[in-house]
Every structure is written in C-alpha cells, then in structure tokens.
Amino acid sequence: MKKIIVATSNPHKVEEFRRLLKDYRIITLKDIGFNETIVEDGLTFQDNAIIKAQAVYEWVKTHTNLNLAILADDSGLCVKAINYEPGIMSSRYSGLGDEGNRRKLLDQLITIQDRTAYFQCFCALIMPDGNMVVEEGKVYGLITKSKIGDDSFGYDCIFWSNALKKTFGQATPEEKDKVSHRAQAVGKIREYLDSVGYGKDQFEDEE
C-alpha cells in the first residue's frame, strides 16, 4: 500500500487523515519515533504547516532510511467580529484545552450579533526529493451560542456549517469529510500525488 507520513500527534487529525487518504497507509510520528518539539512560530496557517512539514522532513532524512512524502497541516477557526480570532492561536486560545477555548470564544461573542466564521486549513506536502506543494481549504459558517453535538474535538460543536445546516459536532465523519476545510485541502494534495504517480514504486507487501 502507498505510504505517507503525517506530521501530527493529534489522534483526531490522524483519524481524519486516514479517512481522507484511504488509499494510503498513514505513518504517524509515533510510528517513526519522532518526539521532537516543533516551534510553530509562523504568522499564518500556511507558515506553520510548512514549518511542521520541513521539521519532520529534515528529521526523517537524518534519522531514518525512509523515502516517503511528508504531509503537515495547520488549521483553525477565524471569527469575523473579533478580528478573525482565534486564528493561528485556535488550539492555544485559552491555554485550557478545547473546553476552555470554546468558553473563551463564546464569552467574547456574548453581545455580538454577527457570528460569521470560517475554518481554514493549509496542507504542506514535501515529496521525497524535497519538492513542496501547499494547498488550502476553507469552509464557512456561524458560531452557535452553546455547544451542539459531540464536543470531543476542538470547536466543532459550536461551528454551524452553512453547507451541512448543522454543527460539525452533529455531523457524522462522512458528512464532515464532504465539506470540511481539511478535506478540501487534502483532496487537492491527493490529486497532486495521483498526478505524479506517487507510491507506484512502493510494494504492496511492504511493512
């Protein structure tokens, strides 16, 4: 099976990548023994996706004999009325995890009527030869006034998707994968991989 290394330690993202890249065997950072701290000090989602991909690419080249593509993403929620916060700070917005992040955002919006928001994702792919491809995805919606649906992943339960007419917290994984920001960006990455024939030299019985 074709293989790709995903530069994330987030189990929710790993599962999402596995759904979105069903034709690939997803290799995690844990699988390759990567436990370095990556400083995401970029100013944009695109910057941070590239920083993560490059850090893992350089480590793989130095510490392993693997000759695989590296895929990293950076994504977050942008709310128009509060200057597009939390933005690149989405996962660290409150410093108190997902529940704290949601609470801080809802508190910020208590008196605000315009709750327009979007999720944005940038995916950075580095091929074994060092060539890089970057793709973007974006999905629009509104911030609800309280949690609706599964609250186990980020801001999903307070993001009402215009496309689905429900929160991401209410959506099934299959429904979310049809419209999400990450699905859009990964879809473009998959098209690129297919166009260059990536994986054709990887043996089906390889472990």
CATH number at residue 137: 3.90.950.10
Would you report the helix, strand and coil content of the chain in percent, each value rounded to 5?
A: 40, 25, 40
Rounded CA gap, 1 and 18, in Å?
13
Query: What percent of the chain is predicted at pLDDT more than 90?
Result: 94
Whether 180 maps to a domain, the answer reads yes
Q: What is the pLDDT of residue 206?
A: 47
Whether 201 maps to a domain, the answer reads no
| Candidate list 23, 73, 74, 205, residue with the active-site label | 74
Q: What 3-state DSSP class applies to 61?
A: helix
Structure tokens at 53: 């991909």
- 121 contacts 137 by C-beta, under 8 angstroms: yes
Whether 107 maps to a domain, the answer reads yes
* Structural domains of the chain, count: 1
Whether 179 maps to a domain, the answer reads yes
Q: What is the pLDDT of residue 122?
A: 98
Whether 57 maps to a domain, the answer reads yes
pLDDT by 10s per residue, the chain, length 207: 799 999 999 998 999 999 999 999 999 999 999 999 999 999 999 999 999 999 999 999 999 999 999 999 999 999 999 999 999 999 999 999 999 999 999 999 999 999 999 999 999 999 999 999 999 999 999 999 999 999 999 999 999 999 999 999 999 999 999 999 999 999 999 999 999 999 776 644 444
* Average pLDDT of the chain to the nearest whole number: 95
74 is catalytic: yes
Whether 206 maps to a domain, the answer reads no
Beta bridge mates, 123: 73, 135
Sign of the dihedral through C-alpha 78, 76, 174, 52: positive
- 150 contacts 99 by C-beta, under 8 angstroms: no
- Backbone φ, ψ for residue 169 (5° rounding): -70, -25
Whether 141 maps to a domain, the answer reads yes
Sign of the dihedral through C-alpha 17, 20, 22, 23: negative
Beta bridge mates, 25: 3
Whether 204 maps to a domain, the answer reads no
- Backbone φ, ψ for residue 187 (5° rounding): -60, -40
Domain residues for 135? 2-195
pTM of the model: 0.92
- Backbone φ, ψ for residue 73 (5° rounding): -135, 155
